[in-house]
Structure 1
Amino acid sequence: MSSLTNKLRLFAILLLMALGACSSGPKAPDWQMEAKSSMDRALGAYLEGNTRVEAMEFGRVRSELSSTGRADLMARAELLRCAGRVASLVLEPCAGFELLRQDAPAAERAYADYLEGRLQPQDLALLPASQRAAAAAGADVAAVKGIADPLSQLVAAAVIFRSGRASPALLQQAVDTASSQGWRRPLLAWLGVQLQVAEKGGDADAVARLRRRIALTQNTITGTKP
């Protein structure tokens, strides 16, 4: 399944927009189509490292969703945006969601807590099914590998990393997932963690290899950046 399909599927899950579910059904409202397209472009741009395009496209998402007056849809969009950041190891509060927390459904509040590593045990059942096993105590690489969606994999890996339980195998799984999707931003973040581990362990060969790969990913070997 392509990364585009995965991102669209995740967006559909989070925003509950069953667009085109029935060919004989009514045409989806324009705001749904526009929000869906802009969200996909925003998420893709962020993961590929293009902050300017991400900000522009997410501004369009907010504009379209605000026309509905629905806090639940806006909250889910903010959470998806934050999921991309968590997947890239930008481990900070989901500020956009917090402005909406008071009016957000319980499942969205639980997911926000999960992203921040403070999910309460009683709220585990409120998470998307793909994240429940990874959110359980003691979860590691096996639980992450069991997640089909690449972005959800990286989010789960980041939550485990945030808890201080990330094994070398988990770090490698995250690197492999980001690399397979061509997601430069999370790839650099996870390679950076591997580099720190190698430096701390005094593994000179691994340090040199990781620095070369980071330079390649940054496209600095030829002296140019994307």
Structure 2
Amino acid sequence: MTMPDTSQKIKRDPERTRQRILAAATEEFAERGLSGARVDSIARRADINERMLYYYYGNKDQLYTAVLEDVYLAFNRAEHALNLDALAPLAAVSALAHFIWDYYAAHPELIRLINNENLHEARHMHESPQIRALVSPIVDMLASILKRGEASGEIRSDVDPVHLYVTISALGYYLMSNRHTLATVMGRDLMAPDARSAYTAFNTQVLLDYLRVK
């Protein structure tokens, strides 16, 4: 019996192959970090041979950078799908914050990859202008919301959009990054639906109370 030639299928559909490799590499790097991840394991997950993986992505570090770019691109696309211009300024900030916190909760692999990249002092992100370009537009969007709020008299005039974005991100990131240790030392699962809902409401109130013109 003649076995199907999978290499021909791969050659006919290179984009699908790239996505399979990226999906497999995302799982491997998120689970094991850059140092612990193995190229042969990624190849097995993607159901290809290692030679094909190197053909598409060069080496392990280049593949890792491609994974970082891919997860940030997915995050960026989801952010830009929000219709924040249709909302009043404070409601727009709240909607953006809730989106970011929900996205982190739904994509723990993003948190793990960021944690790992911080261990490597963001070396791969420094080498990727694409990642920086993906983050800047959402900060610009937030700056526009702040300007609208300032003009309408709803939002104070001294808010730095970068500081605000970092704070919004941190409020969701810290919970996801430290949820296991927090559950142990606090004796409370902050990711349980009721607890997470209460935590979201608390953080939202903190943000809006700071932004409002007193």
TM-score by length of 2: 0.32
Q: Which has the higher contact order (CA 8 A, sep 6+)?
A: 2
Larger Rg: 2
